[in-house]
């Protein structure tokens, strides 16, 4: 079971689709640039066209990913919010490269009691009576979403299987450096790969110039596109991996894995979680990202009523006896 959110509606792959959308405008711009550069450097037009289309598409995707990564989280509310609830899972996304993983620390906070405790005067949208529903569904004004998708813990929950969506949660994350470093490294690697590919393609096409003009031009076009695309992809993976390693080093030297506190998901522990309320436009749901503070209320909490009264007692400085927070 992964510690990710499963949405009852919306597009879980919106981010990937946006990033892929950078390919076509990138290819068009790349073709124009390739033709211009080929003309200026007295290289074959087909070289510029092939390399430009392939390289432009690769650069469009890679840099679109950078843009999308750093703008995907849209703030719903200017101040931090505080919710209280029980983690239904807790984990760390694997080490790896974007778009496959980001190394973030994640938890899904759900019942009991799953309540908003700050701010207490949050205005509610028409038809909403539970402030937590407002937290889960109000889309950030610049997200271009009419509503955020409700998210659930249940792994079978999806827009095509809404009946499986029974355990409401709010996804919460602590950012790792891996994701950001990976997308930046990938874009730099892609750029280097495109440049290297263009040089390699020019050398190959120069060699192909000895052949019959028509066949040589066609081969040049295809080889330029293939070589540039191949080196761009290789550059992306190498750059993203190097970036991820840099991110892992940043994580290691920052305060992760130092003396902190465990957040438990299988001990019936209740926590207050504060942080930035955002709409994650990559998945279309709301979450807390980044978490700014976590307060353990108590563990071994058996019932919803106990979760409320323990939260109240600890929150007013009247810790009862029990598991030592």
Q: Which positions from 131 through 170 interact with another protein, judged by CB under 8 A?
A: 131, 134, 138-139, 141-142, 144-147
Structure tokens at 201: 């393609």
> Which is closer to another protein, CB of 219 or CB of 308?
308
34 within 8 A of 197, measured Cβ to Cβ: no
User: By C-beta, is 126 or 214 nearer to another protein?
Assistant: 126
Name the minimum Å distance from CB 296 to another protein. 7
Give the nearest distance from C-beta 35 to another protein in angstroms: 37
Is residue 100 within the footprint of another protein (CB under 8 A)?
A: no
Report yes or no: 240 and 185 within 8 Å, Cβ to Cβ: yes
CA dist 109 and 15 (Å) reads: 23
Q: Which residues of 295-310 are buried (b: 16+ CB within 10 A; e: fewer)?
A: bbbbbebeeeebbbeb
- With 0-12 / 13-18 / 19 or more C-beta atoms within 10 angstroms meaning exposed / middle / buried, residue 17 is exposed
Q: Considering the complex, state which of residue 59 and residue 140 has its C-beta at the smaller distance from another protein.
A: 140
Residue whose CB is less far from another protein, 106 or 191:
106
CA torsion, ordered 245, 251, 254, 260, to nearest 10 deg: -150
Q: How far apart are CA 244 and CA 225, in angstroms?
A: 28
Torsion sign across C-alpha atoms 148, 152, 158, 161 = negative
Give the burial class of 71: count Cβ atoms within 10 A of its Cβ; 0-12 exposed, 13-18 middle, 19 or more buried. Answer: exposed
* Nearest-angstrom CA–CA distance, 86 and 108: 8
User: Which residues between 61 and 80 bind another protein (CB under 8 A)?
Assistant: 80
The one segment of 160-168, 191-199, 211-219, 289-297 that binds another protein by CB under 8 A? 289-297
237 binds another protein (CB under 8 A): no
- Interface residue with another protein among 23, 219, 242, 295 (CB under 8 A) is 295
Shortest Å distance, C-beta 96 to another protein? 9
CB of 170 to another protein, least distance (A): 15
Q: Which CB, 20 or 92, lies closer to another protein? A: 92
Tell me, by CB under 8 A, how many residues bind another protein: 89
Q: Report how far residue 82's alpha carbon sits from residue 87's, in angstroms, rounded to the nearest whole number.
A: 14
Residue 177: phi, psi to the nearest 5? -80, -10
Pick out residues in 11-70 that bind another protein (CB under 8 A).
Answer: none
Q: Does 242 bind another protein (CB under 8 A)?
A: no
CB closer to another protein, 55 vs 87: 87
* Minimum distance, C-beta of residue 316 to another protein, in the bound complex (Å): 5
Q: Is 203 in the site for another protein (CB under 8 A)?
A: no
Q: Which CB sits closer to another protein, 42 or 266?
A: 266
């Amino acid at each position: 079971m992964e510690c990710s959110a499963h949405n009852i509606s919306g597009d879980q792959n919106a981010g990937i689709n946006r990033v892929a959308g950078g390919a076509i405008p990138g290819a068009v711009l790349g073709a124009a640039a390739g033709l211009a550069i080929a003309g200026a450097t007295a290289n074959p037009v087909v070289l510029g066209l092939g390399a430009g289309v392939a390289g432009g598409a690769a650069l469009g995707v890679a840099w679109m990913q950078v843009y999308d990564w750093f703008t995907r989280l849209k703030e719903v509310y200017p101040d931090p919010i505080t919710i209280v609830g029980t983690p239904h899972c807790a984990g760390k996304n694997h080490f790896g490269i974007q778009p496959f993983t980001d190394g973030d620390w994640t938890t899904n906070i759900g019942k009991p009691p799953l309540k908003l405790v700050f701010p207490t005067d949050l205005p509610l949208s028409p038809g909403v009576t539970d402030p937590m529903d407002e937290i889960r569904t109000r889309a950030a004004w610049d997200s271009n979403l009419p509503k955020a998708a409700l998210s659930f813990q249940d792994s079978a929950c999806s827009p095509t299987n809404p009946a499986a969506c029974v355990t409401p949660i709010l996804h919460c994350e602590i950012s790792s450096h891996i994701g950001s470093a990976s997308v930046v490294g990938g874009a730099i690697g892609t750029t280097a790969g495109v440049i290297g590919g263009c040089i390699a393609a020019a050398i190959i096409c120069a060699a192909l110039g000895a052949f019959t003009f028509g066949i040589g031009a066609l081969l040049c076009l295809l080889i330029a596109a293939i070589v540039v695309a191949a080196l761009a992809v290789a550059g992306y993976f190498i750059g993203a991996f190097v970036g991820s390693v840099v991110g892992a080093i940043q994580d290691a030297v920052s305060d992760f894995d130092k003396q902190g506190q465990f957040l438990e998901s299988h001990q019936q522990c209740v926590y207050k979680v504060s942080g930035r309320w955002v709409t994650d436009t990559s998945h279309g749901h709301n979450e807390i990202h980044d978490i700014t503070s976590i307060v353990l209320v108590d563990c071994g909490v058996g019932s919803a009523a106990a979760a409320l009264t323990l939260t109240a007692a600890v929150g007013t400085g009247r810790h009862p006896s029990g598991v030592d927070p």
